[in-house]
Amino acid sequence: MKKKILSVLMATAMVLSLGACGSSDSGSGSGSDGKYTVGICQLVQHDALDAATQGFKDALVEELGEENVTFDEQNAQNDPNTCATIVNGFVSANVDLILANATPALQAAAAGTDTIPILGTSVTEYGVALEIDDFNGTVGKNISGTSDLAPLDGQADMVQELFPDAKNIGLLYCSAEANSQYQVDTVKGFLEEKGYTCEYYAFSDSNDLSAVVTQAAENSDVIYVPTDNTCANNTEIIRNVCMPAKVPVVAGEEGICAGCGVATLSISYYDLGVATGKMAAKILKGESKIEEMPIEYAPNFVKKYNKDICDELGIAVPEGYEAIE
């Protein structure tokens, strides 16, 4: 009799265990009652990423209703390892969807789950970030999102428009950010076609940024900074070196330009977040399959300039540029 009872208990435990495994592996589905939990992993706090997160939240609330969506929003303080820890927490909690804001957050999310839908934003090039050869614009599996890639040829045109007599362009970027490497490699080709000499100035983290910027300022007529998160989080360091040296900085996005640059051809990160939020709503409501959703790109690019820095450096900005407010 005892053996029979024990057998029944063991069989029951196995059924419950299998049911629990099925629940944790499902990734999404707890929103069957029309209420959803969304995990947000943001790499670091700075204007561009903050705007993307806010746009995402605003759009999703508008689409689903404030009472139907709960956000678990966490910031990794620019530490990729912390991104992994945050994502693991989301997976354990079985959130309905993950927003990965910036490339290291996307990489951590991709490594953390292949079932929960993942949307990236503020990611420049998904093929580079996810090491996909011959990337065709759709990641597949459980990943899609939006790209913050501005036309790099247009940024090179901007350098030539503003500084036609410059000769040496310093390319300043964080070597730990794969998409920063992609941007400087690409823009270097466009600048060299225009006759400029380009030199890489890579730093590994914020600790050696000041020394590398100083070297770049000593050897460059103009410095180009891509959409680099570490630079965006440390614009004061760049400005404090470049302004006394009278070396202008052309930036890949508006937040960096506002902090230390003279001009940018940039997107609205808030609008990028809104587009990502609308994608999330379609996924959660079952209107679209994430594996079939191509990466979306910003539709509009605006030439902007930093009036204070341009005035201080005596740079005359041609027509067609908007002052950063």
Q: For residue 323, what are the contacts with CB-CB under 8 A and spacing of at least 6?
A: 304, 305, 306, 307
pLDDT for residue 316: 94
* Tokens read off for 2: 């005892």
pLDDT for residue 31: 60
Are 62 and 187 within one domain?
A: no
User: Can you give the residue range of the structural domain that contains 210?
Assistant: 152-266+302-323
3-state secondary structure of 83: helix
Are 97 and 214 within one domain?
A: no
- At which residue do the structure tokens 């460059």 appear? 220
What is the Cβ-side half-sphere exposure of residue 165, based on CA atoms within 13 angstroms?
1
Closest CA to 276 of 147, 141, 180: 147
pLDDT for residue 6: 37
3-state secondary structure of 102: coil
Q: Which residues of the chain carry a pLDDT beneath 50?
A: 1-29
Between strands 197-203 and 222-225, the pairing is unpaired
Are 90 and 172 within one domain?
A: no
pLDDT for residue 300: 85
pLDDT for residue 299: 79
pLDDT for residue 313: 97
Determine, yes or no, domain membership for 236. Answer: yes
> pTM of the full predicted structure?
0.80
Determine, yes or no, domain membership for 26. Answer: no
pLDDT for residue 139: 97
pLDDT for residue 242: 98
Determine, yes or no, domain membership for 18. Answer: no
Q: How many domains does the chain have?
A: 2
